[in-house]
C-alpha cells in the first residue's frame, strides 16, 4: 500500500538556495542532508508519495520527490495548515528530534521515526527523552544499533536499522580512481571533533615530510562561504603551499580522496559518518576516532582508530610508510562498504521499517525509555539474586 511520507530536516534550511538532488552536483553537501535525499529517493522507488520540508525556501519537484518550500518554522506551519503538506502516514525526522512533539500533536495518527544521525554521546539522552512522541529510532549502522541496544535495553522495541549508505550506482561506482599521491585528506565540516588535533599532528608530519600535501574538504551551504576557522591553525606552522582547503560537489570530492594515501576524519561523536563510507568506497584507508564503524560492525579492520595527537600522527605516518598495507586496508574497506553499506541495503532497511510501522499498534506494546547502564543492571541482578535466596530460605 502506498503511503504518504514526510521527511523533515529542520525548522530552517541549511541551504539558502535550497537543497535538492541538483544541489549534489553543484556543491559540497553534508552527510545528513545527503542521506535524507537518498531516503526520499528509495521511498519513492518503494511506491510511496514523498514530501520533504525544511530543505529549502522554494517548492520544487525532482525525481518525483516534492520539496515543500519554507524559510522558517512559521512558513512550515503555514504550509501544513494550508494543505500544501499532505497529511502524512509516516514522518521521518532526519537527524533532528526537536519537532517530534509538534508532529505528534499535529498529525496524531502518523508514525514518527527519528533518523538518528545525532544519536551519539552528546545527544542520545535528549533524543530518547522524546520517546513519548517517537514510534521508532533508526540507527545508522549495525554497530550503532548494537551499541545502543545493549545500553538501552528497555527501548529496544523501538530500535530499527536504516544504515547510511553510498549511492554507488549514481556516484561512487562511476568515479574512476586517480593514481595515489603522497597526500592526506580530511573529510568533514570544520566543527567536527578533533580537527584541531589533526592540524597539530599534520603540522609535525608535514614538517618532516617535504613532499607530503594535505587537503581538507568540507561541505558548503548554499552561497555561504565557510573558510577554515583561524582558531584551528592558531600558533601552528603549516605550509600554505602544501595545503588545500575546498568544498567540492560529491563527484569531485570522491576523485580527490581516491588519490589520497590516507583519509582522516573526526575523532569522535559521530555515529555513522558518511566521510568514512566515501573514503572506503574509493578504496582508501581511514584514520578515525569513531567507535561505530570499527569496534562493533567491522571485524575486518579496514582502518585505524585513534584519539590523541600522538596516536593520530603515528597512525598516519605508519600508513604513509607502508603503502601496501594502506592499499590493503582500503580494499578491505571498499569490499566491506559494498557488502554492508550499499544503497540496496539502505532501500531494504527502509522497506523493513515501513513494514514494522504498519503493524497494528494494538498487537504490540511500544516500550518506554528507561536507559540503564551496565553497573545499574548488575546492581539490579544482585538485588534479584538476594531476594531469590531469601524466598528460598523462608520457604524452607
pLDDT tens for each residue of 82-105: 999 999 999 999 988 889 999 999
pTM of the model as a whole: 0.87
> Residue 226 has what pLDDT?
63
All CATH 3.40.50.2000 domain ranges in the chain, comma separated: 4-165+345-363, 172-340
Instruction: Answer yes or no: is pLDDT of 211 > 90.
Output: yes
CATH, range 4-165+345-363:
3.40.50.2000
Percent of the chain with pLDDT over 70: 90
> Residue 301 has what pLDDT?
56
For 62, the grid coordinates are 525532482
Q: How far apart are CA 67 and CA 282, in angstroms?
A: 31
> Residue 372 has what pLDDT?
53
356 CB-contact burial (10 Å; exposed 0-12 / middle 13-18 / buried 19+): middle
User: Do 228 and 245 touch, CB atoms closer than 8 A?
Assistant: yes
Q: What value does the mean pLDDT take over residues 343-354?
A: 97
Side-by-side strand order, sheet with 136-139: 60-62, 65-68, 49-53, 4-8, 90-94, 111-115, 136-139, 159-161
Instruction: Answer yes or no: is pLDDT of 380 > 80.
Output: no
pLDDT band with cut points at 50, 70 and 90 for residue 225:
low
- Position with higher pLDDT, 129 vs 144: 129
Q: What are phi and psi of 212, to 5 degrees?
A: -80, 145
- What 3 state SS string does 192-219 have? CCCHHHHHHHHHHHHHHCCCCEEEEECC
CATH, range 172-340:
3.40.50.2000
| Element spanning 38, H or E | helix 31-45
Q: Among 137-151, 222-236, 323-337, 343-357, where is mean pLDDT lowest? A: 222-236
> Residue 56 has what pLDDT?
94
Q: Among 102-116, 130-144, 168-182, 264-278, where is mean pLDDT lowest? A: 264-278
Amino acid at each position: 500500500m502506498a503511503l504518504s511520507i514526510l521527511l523533515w530536516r529542520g525548522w530552517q534550511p541549511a541551504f539558502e538556495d535550497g537543497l535538492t538532488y541538483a544541489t549534489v552536483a553543484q556543491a559540497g553537501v553534508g552527510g545528513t542532508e545527503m542521506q535524507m535525499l537518498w531516503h526520499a529517493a528509495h521511498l519513492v522507488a518503494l511506491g510511496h508519495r514523498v514530501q520533504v520540508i525544511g530543505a529549502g525556501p522554494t517548492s520544487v519537484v525532482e525525481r518525483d520527490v516534492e520539496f515543500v518550500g519554507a524559510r522558517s518554522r512559521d512558513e512550515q506551519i503555514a504550509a501544513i495548515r494550508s494543505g500544501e503538506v499532505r497529511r502524512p502516514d509516516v514522518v521521518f525526522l532526519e537527524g533532528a528530534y526537536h519537532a517530534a512533539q509538534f508532529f505528534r500533536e499535529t498529525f496524531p495518527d502518523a508514525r514518527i521515526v527519528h533518523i538518528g544521525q545525532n544519536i551519539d554521546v552528546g545527544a542520545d539522552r535528549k533524543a530518547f527523552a522524546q520517546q513519548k512522541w517517537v514510534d521508532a529510532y533508526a540507527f545508522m549502522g549495525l554497530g550503532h544499533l548494537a551499541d545502543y541496544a545493549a545500553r538501552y535495553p528497555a527501548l529496544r522495541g523501538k530500535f530499527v536499522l536504516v544504515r547510511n549508505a553510498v549511492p554507488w550506482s549514481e556516484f561512487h561506482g562511476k568515479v574512476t580512481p586517480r593514481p595515489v599521491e603522497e597526500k592526506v585528506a580530511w573529510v568533514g565540516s570544520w566543527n567536527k571533533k578533533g580537527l584541531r588535533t589533526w592540524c597539530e599532528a599534520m603540522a609535525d608530519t608535514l614538517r618532516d615530510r617535504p613532499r607530503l600535501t594535505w587537503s581538507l574538504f568540507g561541505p558548503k551551504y548554499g552561497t555561504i562561504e565557510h573558510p577554515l576557522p583561524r582558531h584551528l591553525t592558531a600558533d601552528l606552522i603549516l605550509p600554505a603551499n602544501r595545503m588545500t582547503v575546498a568544498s567540492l560537489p560529491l563527484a569531485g570530492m570522491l576523485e580527490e580522496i581516491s588519490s589520497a594515501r590516507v583519509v582522516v576524519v573526526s575523532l569522535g561523536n559521530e555515529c555513522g559518518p558518511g566521510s568514512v563510507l566515501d573514503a572506503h568506497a574509493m578504496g582508501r584507508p581511514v584514520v578515525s576516532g569513531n567507535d561505530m564503524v570499527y569496534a562493533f560492525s567491522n571485524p575486518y579492520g579496514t582502518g585505524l582508530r585513534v584519539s590523541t595527537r600522538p596516536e593520530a600522527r603515528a597512525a598516519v605516518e605508519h600508513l604513509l610508510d607502508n603503502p601496501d598495507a594502506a592499499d590493503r586496508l582500503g580494499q578491505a574497506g571498499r569490499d566491506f562498504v559494498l557488502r554492508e553499506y550499499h544503497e540496496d541495503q539502505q532501500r531494504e532497511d527502509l522497506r523493513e521499517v515501513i513494514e514494522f510501522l504498519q503493524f497494528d499498534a494494538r498487537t504490540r506494546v511500544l516500550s518506554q525509555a528507561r536507559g540503564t547502564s551496565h553497573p545499574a543492571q548488575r546492581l539490579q541482578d544482585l538485588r534479584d539474586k538476594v531476594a531469590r535466596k531469601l524466598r528460598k530460605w523462608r520457604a524452607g
